[in-house]
Amino acid sequence: MKKKLILDVDTGVDDAQAIMVALADPNVEILGITCCHGNTPLENVLKNTLRVLKVCDRLDIPVYRGCDRPLKGKRRHAGSFHGKDGLGDVPDPDAPGLELLQKKRAFSAMIKIVEENPGEVTLVATAPLTNLALAVQAEPSFPEKLKALYIMGGNTESRGNTTVCGEFNFVADPEAAYMVLERYTCNTCIATWEFTCRNSLPWSFCDTWFAQDTDKARFMSKISSHTRKMIQTERYQKELVAGPGFNSCDTYALAAAIDGTLVTEKEQVAVSVELDGSYTRGMMVLDHMGLWGERRKAVILKKFDLEKFKQMLMNALK
């Protein structure tokens, strides 16, 4: 039986890599892709998602328009990192048009898909969590019907990559992140910023990965060029938790959702999100002391089987 997934994305380069890994796995069925503000404005996210599906010859997968702004506060984007358009600023004149989008809104689509497949759907969220927050507001029982939730976001050591203490996806909509960690009662696994940094891959692998003689590999090499230059800057290297290397942040959460054996070490702990601090707004908080009593706990990923992960990445571009 295939693993049924919904992907909630803000398609920049690493989301594109995650989508392609999911598409390449014969044991995965993507029931829908919901789009959210984040790495780039929503219109770009929609276009980028369709571009990825076109390269993989999978425009049959439904794509839904989601939120274009956070629940509160100003929009944040990561144009300096992924390129202003989210895919390295290398436009495709033959990219699919937005008329291919589904009419239903993202959060409504999530609810409907899960209601039709209760207990069978894993939701993989690699964007700010605004769409997920709207889904649980509209249908409070929605999380109970999910099989699992995998999130790329948050941090465990107050190491920021957007603010002093905040990871991008959580900082881009702290209220949504807080609501999701409070109200999603399904099994929840989180690939944090520090986790992805510590499990980054050598540049030599990246060279081999992109060198495959396929249209997918050429596409990925082209859209990743800008991001690779950014990662190799002195400023970014100082942000990394563990040495230089290639970090496809979103793909870790997606890969773990597909194959749980990739996770070789994890920790279960109660978590929340700081909303009010002058320096810490959007930071994920962990209760290692058990002061929150019976508060629901999330699984924090710690270590990964990198050889298996490399093979998944290679397969995605074949």
- Is residue 213 annotated as a catalytic residue, yes or no? no
- Strands across the sheet containing 187-191: 63-64, 28-35, 3-9, 121-125, 148-152, 187-191, 297-304, 263-273, 284-287
User: How far is the C-alpha of 170 from the C-alpha of 277, rounded, in Å?
Assistant: 14
Separation in Å, CA 131 to CA 44, 87, 110, 173, 284 = 17, 22, 9, 10, 19
Rounded to 5 degrees, φ, ψ at 273 are: -130, 130
Q: Among 112, 121, 110, 113, which residue's Cα sits nearest to residue 149? A: 121
In sequence order, what DSSP letters do the residues of 215-254 get, joined into one string? HHHHHHHHHHHHHHHHHTSHHHHHH-SSSS-B--HHHHHH
Q: Could you give the count of Cα atoms lying within 13 Å of 111 in the half-sphere of its Cβ?
A: 18
The DSSP symbol for 201 reads: B
Candidates 8, 10, 173, 250; catalytic one: 10
Q: Where are the alpha helices (DSSP H) in 71-161?
A: 79-82, 106-116, 130-138
Name the token pair of 32. 């829908």
What separation, in Å, do the N-terminal and C-terminal C-alpha atoms of the chain show? 24
Rounded to 5 degrees, φ, ψ at 298 are: -110, 160
The set of catalytic residues is: 10
